[in-house]
Structure 1
Amino acid sequence: MSDPVIVGVDGSASSLEAVEAAAREAHLRGAGLRIVHAFGHASAHLTPGATPWQPGDRGLEPMVHGTLVRAEERALAVAPGIEVSRSVVAGEALAVLEIESRAAALAVVGSRGLSGFAGLLLGSTAVHLAAHGRCPLMVVRGRPDPAGPVLLALDGSPAGQAAVAFAFAEAALRKAPLVALHVWNTWSERAYEGPGDPLTAVVADVDHLRAAEQRLLDEVVAAEQEVFPEVVVERRLVRSRVRPALLDASRSAQLVVTGARGRGGFAGLLLGSVSQALLHHAHCPVTVVRGKE
């Protein structure tokens, strides 16, 4: 069997929604589902005099068992017959899930967990895994349109090629159409530097720039279309600010796929501003796919 789909659970409503999404993904791939529950403290967060967790402390064992049973029941309700395994690990969730991701086809988490602070739109676990995980990360959020397309945030960067391949494969698995959305503006002209609105900044030849961005979109899509000829693709070139255009398009999608960093990212950053905006504000689940950077 192929590498499993892993899902982090903590008993929260958000994590149980993630379990359902992960079960569907495992079923689509013919893969197993691994439910991961991590418990423990980061050493830096221990209060004075606190001791590490002990197996018998305050009835945690029954509580953890109940959380895993509920998670497995939810998984099998949406994907009967999938192989489910459980993993309970003593350690900080961030570190545990990062290690688990090294042998996974896909990691799935909810947008918020029990440890989230009120008012935060996205939990720290999701942000950390998007930047440091070793496999694609799906963050379950929003209200996806089951009949909508898979939305690919295409930027044409070398690091983004892994996201293109993932989006085509995901659309094929779901038997869904794919919208390859490439958003451009005059900041796309690398020779241009300076202040101003990227929609109105003057460049030498806007028509030439538009044609170049269309060629980029066509070339990237055509290469992957040969691998997945069954996927119906809409190539959508939009002149706009990137983040608002992608967030608006996510309203009618069942999934957004994006790279971790794009052409405009600063060297050394593991997660770009566009992918962060999608993780925090998209109207449907988002999968972040890291390339070889």
Structure 2
Amino acid sequence: MSGLVVVGTDGSAESSEAVAAAAREAAWRDADLRVVHAFTWPEVHFRPGGTTPAFSDTEIQNAAGTLLSQAAEHARAVAPQVSVATHVIVGGALRVLVDQSRDAQLVVVGSRGTGAFSGLLVGSTGVGLAAHAHCPVLVVRDGPRATGPVLVGVDGSPAARDAVAFAFDEAALRGTTLRALHAWTPWNVPVPQPPQDPRAPYAYEPGRLAEDEERLLAEALAGCATRYPQVPVEQLSIRAATRKTLVAESRDAQLLVVGARGRGGFTGLLLGSVGHAVVHHAHCPVAVVRRGAVDTST
């Protein structure tokens, strides 16, 4: 049985790019593509001077059907070999797409929407979906990019381990290099255990912290590197701010992958501080992977 890629569309240029990206993902994965349009019934507005509704139920449904037909045609033009199905679903975009993610390998959305129907906005639906979906979420920013590495943020957290597995798979599907970036500072690393001898200095030896962080990066990649020997890997362990560094490095990447919450996230944010920053500011599409959203057992 083939897998499934789901894409949300609202007729905007951004969602059209998301449809194209989803079609390519489905082709790479030998998966089916489901194009979904979610909407809520609008309040009734009457035509000036009369009691006839400005838009009938039939007009709204026909508009949604036309929108989906155009999206499906676009998907088939990008990936003719992919089986494409369309669904109009009544409900809020976030609820609908989270529900659709239960059966999917990947859900794709654009970075912004028109707001005419479902309003797929990074600030609302995109962030909420990335935080609550049952599979990885791809937010298409600045259009697709055919060249460059797959960039993955690594911090040693459980969420990052799942992100690493997804990133290796994407690099293999795309036939490109994986660039694993671990950006750290003395303020976002785990506090060292105090020495048993109270007279011993409670601090890292010069250079020890950098060595430990390089080791963390290598260990985080080891298992997947063995499973994907065909994927070239670049390892970058940098003393720098994570969010700023990932956004800068995304300029020449074709995809940036991050965990939904890493070891440095703020607890009040659905995605953590890094997830929020890259979804809003990265220069390439961003995949957000929640812990447990991918199978890392094989």
The normalised TM-score by structure 2 is 0.85
Take 1:47 and 1:246, find their aligned partners in 2: how far apart are those partners?
46
Take 1:215 and 1:46, find their aligned partners in 2: how far apart are those partners?
58
Deviations 1:227-263 (A, max 9, x none): 1111000011111111111001000000000000001
Take 1:272 and 1:147, find their aligned partners in 2: how far apart are those partners?
28
SS in 1 for 2:147: coil
**Aligned match of 2:95:** 95
Aligned residue identity for 1:128 = G
Take 1:88 and 1:101, find their aligned partners in 2: how far apart are those partners?
15
**Aligned match of 1:29:** 29
Moved over 6 A (4+): 45-48
Deviations 1:176-232 (A, max 9, x none): 10000110111134338xxxxxxxxxx643511100000001111111101111100
**Aligned match of 1:6:** 6
Take 1:47 and 1:242, find their aligned partners in 2: how far apart are those partners?
48
CA contact (8 A) 1:180 1:234 kept: yes
Displacement of 1:39 in angstroms is 1.2
Displacement of 1:61 in angstroms is 2.0
Take 2:181 and 2:142, find their aligned partners in 1: how far apart are those partners?
20
1:142 aligns with 2:139: no
Q: Residues 110-129 of structure 1 correspond to what in structure 2 (within 5 A)?
A: 110-115=110-115, 122-129=122-129
| CA RMSD across the alignment | 2.5
Pair 1:124–1:46, CA change in 2 (3 A)? farther
Take 1:25 and 1:144, find their aligned partners in 2: how far apart are those partners?
11
Structure 2: where are the runs of 5+ without partners? 46-52, 193-202, 294-298
Structure 1: where are the runs of 5+ without partners? 193-202
Structure number with greater Rg is 2
**Aligned match of 2:67:** 67
Take 2:58 and 2:34, find their aligned partners in 1: how far apart are those partners?
26
Deviations 1:96-117 (A, max 9, x none): 111000100000000001128x
Deviations 1:2-40 (A, max 9, x none): 331000011111111100000000000000000001111
Take 2:43 and 2:157, find their aligned partners in 1: how far apart are those partners?
42
CA contact (8 A) 2:105 2:135 kept: yes
Pair 1:143–1:23, CA change in 2 (3 A)? closer
**Aligned match of 1:220:** 220
**Aligned match of 1:196:** none
**Aligned match of 2:16:** 16
Pair 1:266–1:281, CA change in 2 (3 A)? closer
Take 2:98 and 2:219, find their aligned partners in 1: how far apart are those partners?
34
Identity %: 52
**Aligned match of 1:181:** 181
Pair 1:190–1:46, CA change in 2 (3 A)? farther
Deviations 1:38-79 (A, max 9, x none): 1115xxx9699xxxx9x9526112211110111011101111
SS in 2 for 1:34: strand
**Aligned match of 1:198:** none
CA contact (8 A) 2:3 2:30 kept: no
**Aligned match of 2:197:** none
CA contact (8 A) 1:168 1:231 kept: yes
CA contact (8 A) 1:180 1:236 kept: yes
Take 1:106 and 1:89, find their aligned partners in 2: how far apart are those partners?
19
